[in-house]
Structure 1
């Protein structure tokens, strides 16, 4: 069934619900009854769009009850953005089957893969009651993204297709049209992301900070002086994703009421949220989200003590036994959702290393294959993940149609003898009396692997990698640093090898973007300078100069231009084959189980699910607005 047809079906369902709903004058949300009675808030029938989005509980779930506060723990104040992530209200969003459907939009239509007609819901309002219309899109496009003081580099690079920006039209209050000269298959997935491409802003709120809409003649001297820094003030107030400005209107199910920094954030239900259940009752069911800031190392213990109603942040598989032991005492259950990254733990040889010697090693496919073959993944799995992980490459997981055993295991099965042969073939035959390989200058062959130093798990895995690589005469020296320093060292080429998680989307289909599998982004630690070259259109970075990487780039370009599903799938398979053969990144273990703590009174959290950032937004695609407390 086409996405557009599904939108039509949703629209009809919404109209039917609205008909029944209007006949009974709708059920008012108890949380808002006092404000409605005082005349401070309009009745619910006037707060919803004329055609709200109808959502229904998933398999094994049920319609809920209103009320309650959901408590969760976060590691630092910036994690308040998870209210935006978990709320997962997007122009278009992923279903649990990872198909795209309209959400904030009433519908969308795609023509020739390059023209996107976005239809808004009539009567939809921001959380402060102001109308949400095409003016919010126009303001963002013309006055924000198109203003050099706010966007010095111009609109986001994600909107470029073939180096050209789209034509954007606003024919009426409920219609926005984006048109490119060539197909743009990335557009809708970008809108649906956990951290989405946001192409709208609350114009009515932000205009008060924009020089174009401020009458300077009415300002006093002090205000005029402050006006010189209007752009920074505008940017400080305009960040829908950060979710740290309580005054900034939102379209999410809950609105943050607490200014950052703080140790406790309160998300209060949005009185104008656009979704209803199948009985026409406005969502969400839960009144408030409470995000308490905690030291990361204490989150597992606090979860076991019952201090949280729903928790995934800050807990790992290694905590599962401890958490299970405390279930009865603290009245919760521990679910285990598989993660679906390409790999949970990955080594990134820096093909753009500054050192000529190390760049030469990292670019030699024999070297990368040897390092992969010399890792005892089974030992790592048994020692750290109870044997529950999937050993192999940074490829795709079994839930993907592209999955094959060869993609997972090629050059990734433990074979130190073949690894030694490959290194000898490279001429790395000199060893000291202990059998340790030597560099050309006579020094021991030691690879410095840099980490962001954020988990002890990384150190534990690298220690086991070091033990395994001793069998091929190579040692590991681990160098941790803060994330910003870590990234900058990689980008500059100072780092020769690093550690991070694998490809975000380990369950792609033909419509999924393979951009991360090609040199298109600086935050690809195996080829940061090639990615930077693409992002800056050749102004910085380095041009790709390895044939296999050039082929990946060309295949991605071919995928972008194709509108044929079978051709797109074939491109995906070829790109995955190249990665398995070339070992540009060295995966170790994947499909790690993520413990999910769920209070026994919290309902509609699925027993079986996947835990992923994008696509998935972690809890987002499972509709936390449908979660409810049975008390």
Structure 2
């Protein structure tokens, strides 16, 4: 009865989501808040070059900045902004400066929120109900750090222009010298980058960088790269540019190793580990999520293009951020963004402590690593905590999937898990209705890991593949494989007579991980598969994964990763195969022919400029997943909670528009305090 009441409450909570998901993002008149300025029209939410914005709106912007920067000896705001700033069209109102944004995380060494709140991309997607930073193919591409871009007819050469006058957070101009340094001295330095990322060796040869002038450069590939613009849309600016003026002090090409070595030795690095030492600084230049003092202390002082930068770490896992005085975006009235001056990230020990802080109103924002099952708790305490709760679509289309390592070292076990009948049997043994009710409060729909319903490649059979709860059919498949029962008919045996045991190792990558892990052994008992559950922390998990020691786990997956990383699941489920592909056969485990075909299909998707050919390749990958069950899906399209302080502006419209939770986080610069 209690569970039924919870479901009724949550259905009431999620009614707006059901009504408005996929709704229009047309700009309409809004009421004036006590602090913001009302919008009465304008361009759709997104980002526009200033010259384009003024031409389309007929306005002329005058720039201003936050009083927080007064008295800091900075040049005028007009000199700190680029020649052609980026205008961010706000979602509801034009806000005001000031205040601190506080959030909590229970992972001490990961910046999951910074990956969104503080990210700066090369190019950006227009916010919409159908796209997000991990689902960007086909989305409208808008400028960001890159002001303009172009490509040749056969998609082998791409030209980009950096904003003239764009500056790092310490005021030093960004130019193509930073791009050249990143490519020639970082990517093409084997000590720093032992293996080039796949995009830089597209076509089997290193990409060619050509500098045209101080702000313009081109990248040429050995063969067509039809999805390259889509791939870099949403990529951190560090993919193309690191701050040369800062990073060279740690680079032995520019600074004598005798001057670097004392610092290295003080931190426990030998001279042979220079590349590793350098990367501990470079982490801050490559990704906003790496500005975590606990994880990358060397990265904190690295100049960036982010809206905020870390200035203090009062306690391990806790840090303070302040606005970047050289940030390159403004609002429609000319105010330099972000509106909010400071950020405060608080480390908590676990999910329950985080929930307590939400209910007590001690955090301004939580939208990651919170459970749908806690919706009634959040909703019933809104008035007490001074916050609002939204239900938004999760960017992870499946918040709970199961997978077996397909390249384990044990040859006998490997033969079993590589047999598709084994994976089909495991899938049939899972009671997904129970998963949907107990983990997702009966929301979402039972589905195999499959394309989004209604997409160009989706067919009903892909959702339905081996998702019926049928232990008898599962046992039949295992019998066909010759996996005999023991004398007590309690457990099945491997072909060499050992008990068939799945070592299930996981960490709480999402709040569904633990309940998913707890349910799995119950599902395996009727088919005789022993399952040993072990929870570890994130560091140990990834260390074991890299070593090929993870045999089975639960996880999440966004289906749209398939466009770029597809078959994405092999990066985590078959580390040996993925390594073999990425090193071109120099290391790892050679995949079977049907798996090689999937990587060929991925390459077709990335290279072709023909949408029809890309669609055929995409569909063939999903047809393979439906038959082979490379990963095991459970429930699709479950929403996630988004909790925010009721006085934070330019957020609440996201529920009406049906935006993904991460889309809201990606546009944090335009949030502001109403009072």
Per the TM alignment, residue 439 of structure 1 is displaced from its structure 2 partner at its CA by 4.3
| Secondary structure of 2:635 counterpart | strand
2:145–2:237 Cα contact (<8 Å) kept: no
Alignment match, 1:177:
218
Structure 1 CA distance for aligned equivalents of residues 381 and 432 of structure 2? 31
Cα–Cα, structure 1 residues 220 and 170, in superposed 2: closer, same or farther, change >3 Å?
A: closer
Alignment match, 1:121:
163
For the aligned residues, what is the CA RMSD?
Answer: 3.2
Cα–Cα, structure 1 residues 515 and 361, in superposed 2: closer, same or farther, change >3 Å?
A: same
2:507–2:513 Cα contact (<8 Å) kept: no
| Secondary structure of 2:325 counterpart | coil
- Summarize the alignment of residues 352-391 of structure 1 with structure 2, pairs less than 5 Å apart: 352-391=407-446
Alignment match, 2:4:
none
- Summarize the alignment of residues 438-449 of structure 1 with structure 2, pairs less than 5 Å apart: 438-440=493-495, 444-449=499-504
Per the TM alignment, residue 340 of structure 1 is displaced from its structure 2 partner at its CA by 3.5
Alignment match, 1:161:
202
Structure 1 CA distance for aligned equivalents of residues 382 and 621 of structure 2? 45
Structure 2 CA distance for aligned equivalents of residues 206 and 328 of structure 1? 49
Alignment match, 2:567:
517
Alignment match, 1:424:
479
Residue in structure 2 matching 1:139, options 181, 189, 192 = 181
Per the TM alignment, residue 189 of structure 1 is displaced from its structure 2 partner at its CA by 4.2
- Summarize the alignment of residues 88-237 of structure 1 with structure 2, pairs less than 5 Å apart: 88-97=119-128, 98=131, 99=139, 100-111=141-152, 112-151=154-193, 153=194, 155-185=196-226, 187-193=228-234, 198-214=239-255, 234-237=278-281
1:607 aligns with 2:655: yes
Alignment match, 1:53:
86
Structure 1 CA distance for aligned equivalents of residues 446 and 64 of structure 2? 52
1:542 aligns with 2:589: yes
Residue in structure 1 matching 2:466, options 411, 423, 443 = 411
Structure 2 CA distance for aligned equivalents of residues 412 and 488 of structure 1? 32
Residue in structure 1 matching 2:64, options 27, 30, 37 = 27
2:122–2:235 Cα contact (<8 Å) kept: no
| Secondary structure of 1:500 counterpart | strand
Structure 2 CA distance for aligned equivalents of residues 602 and 220 of structure 1? 46
Alignment match, 2:327:
273
Alignment match, 2:35:
none
Cα–Cα, structure 1 residues 314 and 561, in superposed 2: closer, same or farther, change >3 Å?
A: closer
Alignment match, 2:674:
630
Alignment match, 2:23:
none
Of 448-457 and 262-271, deviating more is: 448-457
Structure 1 CA distance for aligned equivalents of residues 264 and 532 of structure 2? 56
Residue in structure 1 matching 2:357, options 297, 302, 305 = 302
Per the TM alignment, residue 274 of structure 1 is displaced from its structure 2 partner at its CA by 1.1
Cα deviation 1:134-164 (Å, max 9, x = unaligned): 111112122233334433x164343111221
Point out where structure 2 has 5 or more consecutive residues left out of the alignment: 1-44, 132-138, 293-298
Residue in structure 2 matching 1:501, options 546, 549, 556 = 556
Structure 2 CA distance for aligned equivalents of residues 572 and 33 of structure 1? 54
Per the TM alignment, residue 620 of structure 1 is displaced from its structure 2 partner at its CA by 4.0
Cα–Cα, structure 1 residues 398 and 307, in superposed 2: closer, same or farther, change >3 Å?
A: farther
1:85–1:194 Cα contact (<8 Å) kept: no
Per the TM alignment, residue 296 of structure 1 is displaced from its structure 2 partner at its CA by 2.3
Residue in structure 2 matching 1:582, options 598, 608, 628 = 628
Cα–Cα, structure 1 residues 396 and 139, in superposed 2: closer, same or farther, change >3 Å?
A: same
Structure 2 CA distance for aligned equivalents of residues 308 and 262 of structure 1? 18
